[in-house]
């Protein structure tokens, strides 16, 4: 693409790409691609202080300022595997690198793409990237489709997380359904209370969480909340057959959210994240269909059986819970 005269600009997270060879990025630069390292691990390379705990967790691609792709998908070889066809439940702990992943990304055409572009440019400038002429990247775009799309970015530099407030508000105001698909679940007290309160006032709250994972600590930290959720009437399911990496929400059949944000402390306090909030019944129907497919590939957690899990699992949950804030 760069060779065809299309300028390519790439932001990569320093911690997330620790295992990526330096030669890979050198090759990109040699080809004319502009490359920026987000908050370098090497303090000598840091341009705005050594912010090792502030990571760029966004997964965003913007093309010509007119089309944006956003969600949970990274550029990684782990996505090259095909979904498992096995009907048996896999291990409840991390699996081999060859395991298939289940993720969600969406394409957005229209004016919202401009707002995603602005979010990219803001991060680019903050990280000291070479100057980009905004008029070349922020272009007028005609309205497309019937859905209302809001771009919801967040960064630790903000006085509060807009993504967090948006999700908690949506859950707190739900009247019929709250359907969540979450890769990493380690809620703070306010978010947990919003979920419990919704279920107790009669809202159908369902959560699809991983049945296997690439992070054992957060897997067990999330499970440490199951008893309280189940007791309040929240229906909890664990996805089998793939490593769940989606971060989506569907509320009352009209409001949807897709993005990079997990329901954990790290996403809300320590990471740069970005979500798309979509208001529209047509898109919500597609989200419902996707949720139903995941539900069919998930195992329900039985409130009667859950207390009888092994002592070893309970000890793992207690230990993992201690680290929730940092996971």
Q: For residue 271, which of 280, 261, 279 has the smallest C-alpha distance?
A: 261
pLDDT band for position 94 (50/70/90)?
Answer: very low
pLDDT at 183 over 70: yes
pLDDT band for position 315 (50/70/90)?
Answer: very high
Contact predicate 138/117, CB 8 Å: yes
117, burial (CB in 10 Å: exposed 0-12, middle 13-18, buried 19+): buried
Question: Chain centroid to CA 46: how far?
Answer: 26
- Three-state DSSP at 233 gives coil
Buried b / exposed e along 151-167 (16+ C-beta atoms within 10 A): bbbbbeeeeebbbbebb
CA distances from 326 to 11, 68, 182 (A): 23, 30, 18
Q: Which fold has domain 53-326?
A: Endonuclease; Chain A (3.30.870)
Active site residues: 57, 59, 64, 245, 247, 252
Q: How far apart are CA 209 and CA 13, in angstroms?
A: 25
Element (H, E) at 27: helix 22-30
Q: How far apart are CA 171 and CA 251, in angstroms?
A: 7
pLDDT at 117 over 50: yes
The total of other beta-carbon atoms located within 10 Å of residue 322's CB is 11
222, burial (CB in 10 Å: exposed 0-12, middle 13-18, buried 19+): buried
Element (H, E) at 320: helix 311-321
What would the pLDDT profile of 247-274 be if each residue is shown by its tens digit? 999 999 999 999 999 999 999 999 999 9
Q: What are phi and psi of 5, to 5 degrees?
A: 95, 5
Longest dimension (CA), the chain: 62
- Three-state DSSP at 70 gives strand
DSSP one-letter code for 84:
P
Bridge partners of 71, per DSSP, are: 105
Instruction: Give Cβ neighbours of residue 192 (< 8 Å, ≥ 6 apart).
Output: 225, 228
Dihedral of alpha carbons 101, 182, 214, 303, sign: negative
pLDDT at 92 over 80: no
pLDDT score of 145: 87
pLDDT at 88 over 90: no
Q: For residue 114, which of 91, 133, 137 has the smallest C-alpha distance?
A: 137
Which of 64-73, 134-143, 153-162 has the lowest average pLDDT? Answer: 134-143
Q: For residue 295, which of 225, 170, 209, 212 has the smallest C-alpha distance?
A: 209
Q: How far apart are CA 217 and CA 93, in angstroms?
A: 10
Q: How far apart are CA 245 and CA 101, in angstroms?
A: 7
pLDDT score of 308: 97
Portion of the chain with pLDDT greater than 90, in percent? 84
Contact predicate 307/176, CB 8 Å: no
Domain ranges of the chain: 53-326
The total of other beta-carbon atoms located within 10 Å of residue 32's CB is 11
**DSSP states of 41-55 as a string?**
SSGGG-SS---TT-E
């Amino acid at each position: 693409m760069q060779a065809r005269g299309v300028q390519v600009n790439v932001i990569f997270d320093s911690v997330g790409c620790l295992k990526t060879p330096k030669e890979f990025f050198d090759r990109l630069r040699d080809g004319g691609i502009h490359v920026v390292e987000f908050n370098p691990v090497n303090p000598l390379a840091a341009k705005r202080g050594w912010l090792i705990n502030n990571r760029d967790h966004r997964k965003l691609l913007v093309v010509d300022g007119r089309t944006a792709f956003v969600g949970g998908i990274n550029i990684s070889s782990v996505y090259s595997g095909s979904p498992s066809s096995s009907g048996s439940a896999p291990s409840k702990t991390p699996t081999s690198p060859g395991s298939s992943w289940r993720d969600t990304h969406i394409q957005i055409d229209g004016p919202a793409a401009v707002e995603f572009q602005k979010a990219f440019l803001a991060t680019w400038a903050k990280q000291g990237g070479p100057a980009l002429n905004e008029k070349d990247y922020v272009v007028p775009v005609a309205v497309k489709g019937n859905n209302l799309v809001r771009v919801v970015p967040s960064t630790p530099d903000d006085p509060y997380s807009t993504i967090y407030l948006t999700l908690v508000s949506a859950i707190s105001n739900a009247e019929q359904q709250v359907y969540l698909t979450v890769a990493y679940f380690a809620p703070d007290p306010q978010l947990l209370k919003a979920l419990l309160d919704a279920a107790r006032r009669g809202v159908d709250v369902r959560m699809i969480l991983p049945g296997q994972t690439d992070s054992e600590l957060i897997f067990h930290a999330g499970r440490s909340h199951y008893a309280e959720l189940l007791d309040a009437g929240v229906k909890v399911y664990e996805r089998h057959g793939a490593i769940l990496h989606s971060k989506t929400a569907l509320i009352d059949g009209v409001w949807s959210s897709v993005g990079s944000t997990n329901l954990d402390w790290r996403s809300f306090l320590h990471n740069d994240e970005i979500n798309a909030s979509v208001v529209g019944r047509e898109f919500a129907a597609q989200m419902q269909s996707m949720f139903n497919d995941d539900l069919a590939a998930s195992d329900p957690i039985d409130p009667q059986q859950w207390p009888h899990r092994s002592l070893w699992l309970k000890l793992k949950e207690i230990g993992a819970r201690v680290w929730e804030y940092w996971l």
